[in-house]
Amino acid sequence: MRIFALCAAAGVALSALAVTGSANAAPFHLIKWSGNDLCQIWDNGVPTQPFPANYTAISKPVPSFDAAMAVKTGLMKKGVCKL
């Protein structure tokens, strides 16, 4: 449970970093964490990899955060992602 809380907190922090950073820095893509249906928008401009490494990239890179959000919304409607 602590690991999940830590991952959730890290995801929120990195998402906030991605939103406040330049949207033109690098393409975005969606990752899905193993063991659950949580999907997260990841900014390739962040100089680190997602942690822990139990994730899968589930989308092709897109040029903006808004485009990544549209992809995520579509996957949520299809039931691929829950959050």
Convert the pLDDT of each residue in 58-72 to its tens digit: 999 999 999 999 999
Average pLDDT over residues 8-28: 57
- Answer whether residue 6 shows pLDDT above 50: no
Q: Give the pLDDT confidence score for residue 82 in this predicted structure.
A: 87
Mean pLDDT of 4-27: 54
33-62, pLDDT tens digit by residue?
A: 998 889 999 999 888 988 888 999 999 999
> What distance in Å separates the CA atoms of residue 29 and residue 62, rounded to the nearest whole number?
6
Q: In what order do the strands lie in the sheet with 55-57?
A: 39-43, 28-33, 55-57
pLDDT at 75 over 70: yes
